[in-house]
Structure 1
Amino acid sequence: MAKRRSRKADCDPAESEAKRPRKSTPWRREQCRVSQGRYRQKRIAYVNQLECAVDELRHQVPLLEIQHARMCYCPGLTVWSVVTEYFHLFEHGTDPIASSSQSWSLNLQAQRQMVFLRSTMARDIVLGDRRGIDALLEQWKWYSKCFEDVHLQLYRVTKASPSLVWVSSALRVTITRMTLEHVFPHLVGDSEKLWRFRLRIMGKRLVLPCRLCFEWDEDTKRVARLETVVDFVTPLLQLLGNIEDAGFVLVRARITVDGAENGTKPHE
C-alpha cells in the first residue's frame, strides 16, 4: 500500500499540469478571435461565390429559352403568327423597372417578351428613326412607366403584300402624375390655367388609335421593319372638346409622331 501511495506521489508534474484546465490568456483569446474572423471570411466568400454562380445561371436562362424558342418558332414561322403573338405578349405593356439584363432575367413575363423579340425580329430592326430590339423594349417600358393600366388591343390585320402587313389597333392608357412629369411636363406649374388643365385630364382613360406596319423578311423569317403611328390628337380632342386646348397639351409634349419618347422637346 505504501508503494502505491509513493507512486502516485511521484507522478510527473508535467502530466498533472496538462490535466488541469488551462486559463484563458489575452494571447489565446486574441488567437481565437483571429481564427473565428478567418472562418467568417471564408464563409462569406463561399456564399458570395454561390450567389455569383446563381446569377450566372439566371443570365443563361434567357439564352436557353431563346434557343428553344427558335427551334419551336422557326420551322413554321409566319408574319401572321408573329403579329398575333406580339399583341398577346405586349397586351399589358412590360415591366418598366426591368432596366438591366439581370432584372429582365428575373422577370418572367419580360423574359418571355425578350425571347420572342430576339427570335422573331431582326437585330437591327427599323423602328422609324430608331433601330434595334432594345429601342423597341425601351419604348414599351416608357409607356408602362408613364401611363397606368396599359392595354393593347388588336382590331384588324390586313395583308398589303407578301411582305407587308398592316395592323389596326388601340392602346388604352390612364393619365397619371407620371404622365404629366414625363409626357406633358409643360402642364406642371402653379398657374390656375395649368391647374385647370391638369384637373381635366388627370385620371382620364385615353383610347389611342394605332397603326402598325410589319415588314417581313422571308429569307430570315424575321420582321425587318416595324412602323408605328399612335394618334394622341383624336382622344385628347374628344376629352378637351376643342382643338385649341388639345393643341396646347400636345404642342410641347415629349412624344414623337410614332408615339415614341422625345426628351428633346422644350417644356419650360
Structure 2
Amino acid sequence: MLPTDPATSPAPRASKETKRGDAAKRKLGTRLRQLRYVAQKREHLEHLEGSVQQLHCHVARCEGQLEVLRAVNAPHDSALSTAVEFFASFRHGYQVHRPHMQANQDAFLHSVMRHDLLFMNERGIEKLFAQWRASHAIFPSIEMVPTGFDVRACDDAYLVVAPGVLHLRISRMSLQCLCPHVLQNEWLVQRLLGQVLSMPIVNTFHFLPDGSITRMDTAASIVPALLALVGAENALLIVDGAKIQANGELTIP
C-alpha cells in the first residue's frame, strides 16, 4: 500500500463542510433579511393606514367647515352674482327695438327686484323701466361698464356697491332733451355732436335675506364728463339748466 500524503488528504472533506456552512449562513442571512423586510413593510403599511385614517378625519372636518362657509357666503355670492348680471344685461341699455332681448331684460328685473322697489325716491319697478326707456330715446348709443363690486353685510341683508362709467353718445336729440338751452349756441352744439359723454356712476343694490332687491340707489356726475369734452366754462354753461339730477334721473317730459 502507498503511503497517504498528510498535507492533502483532509482538504476535500474540509472544503465541502466549509461550503455547506457558508451556504447555510447565506440562507439564514437571506431569511433574516426577508423577515426584516416583511416586518418593515408591515410597519410601513400600519403607518400608512393610520395616516389614511387621520386624513379621512381631516377631510371630514374640512368638508364640514366648507359647508359652513358655503352657508355663510351663499347670500354674499348670490347678491354679487345678481349685480354682475344686472350690468351684463343692461350693458348697452334697454333693448327696446330688440323684442327678444328686451323680454329677457324684463324677465331678469322682475325675477330679482321687488315690485315695490324703491328707486329715485319712488316706489315701483316701473320707475326703473321708465328711466331706461328715456335713456334709450335720448341717446343713440349707451354702454354701462362696471369698474368694481363691493359687497357689504348689513344686519341680515347685503349691499352691493357698484361704481362704473356710463358712456352716452350725444345727438341733437340728446341736447334738445337734456339741455335745450345749449341749442342757442351752435358752436357748442357742433363741439358736442357725436361725442361720447363718459359719466362716472355708482349703483347701490339693497338685498333682502331672500336675495331680492328692495332698493336701488344711483349717483351720476355729469360735470367731469363735460369738463373732458368742452372745458370748465362751457361745462358750467351746459350744467346750468340741464335736465339731469345728481342721482342720474332724467327729468324730461
Q: TM-score, normalised by structure 2?
A: 0.65
SS of structure 2 residue aligned to 1:156: coil
Structure 1 letter corresponding to 2:172: R
Query: Please, which of 224, 229, 250 is the counterpart of residue 239 of structure 2?
Result: 250
**C-alpha displacement of 1:230:** 1.2
SS of structure 1 residue aligned to 2:227: helix
Query: Please, which of 115, 118, 126 is the counterpart of residue 123 of structure 1?
Result: 115
What CA deviation, in whole Å up to 9, does each residue of 1:57-91 have, x standing for no partner?
xxxxxxxxxxxxxxxxxx99821111011011101
Tell me if structure 2 keeps the 8 A contact 1:124–1:132: yes
2: CA distance, partners of 1:195 / 1:183: 16
Tell me if structure 2 keeps the 8 A contact 1:77–1:221: no
Matches within 5 A, 1:1-268: 78-96=78-96, 107-162=99-154, 163-189=158-184, 194-218=185-209, 220-242=210-232, 244-263=233-252
Q: Which has the larger Rg?
A: 2
**C-alpha displacement of 1:96:** 4.5
SS of structure 1 residue aligned to 2:82: helix
Structure 1 letter corresponding to 2:120: G
Structure 2 letter corresponding to 1:248: L
Structure 2 letter corresponding to 1:261: L
What CA deviation, in whole Å up to 9, does each residue of 1:179-235 have, x standing for no partner?
01211111223xxxx1111011111112111111111001x4200110011111101
Structure 2 letter corresponding to 1:205: V
Which ranges of structure 2 fall in alignment gaps of 5 or more residues?
1-74
What CA deviation, in whole Å up to 9, does each residue of 1:142-171 have, x standing for no partner?
112111220111110012324111111111
1: CA distance, partners of 2:126 / 2:169: 25
Structure 2 letter corresponding to 1:237: L
SS of structure 1 residue aligned to 2:142: strand
Tell me if structure 2 keeps the 8 A contact 1:215–1:225: yes
2: CA distance, partners of 1:83 / 1:229: 16
2: CA distance, partners of 1:227 / 1:137: 15
Structure 2 letter corresponding to 1:118: H
Tell me if structure 1 keeps the 8 A contact 2:76–2:151: no
2: CA distance, partners of 1:112 / 1:253: 32
| Structure 1 residue runs of 4 or more that deviate by more than 6 Å after TM superposition | none
Structure 1 letter corresponding to 2:211: K
1: CA distance, partners of 2:134 / 2:140: 11
Instruction: Give aligned-pair identity as a percent.
Output: 26
1: CA distance, partners of 2:163 / 2:235: 23
SS of structure 2 residue aligned to 1:113: helix
Tell me if structure 1 keeps the 8 A contact 2:219–2:246: yes
SS of structure 1 residue aligned to 2:252: coil
Q: Cα RMSD over matched residues?
A: 2.0
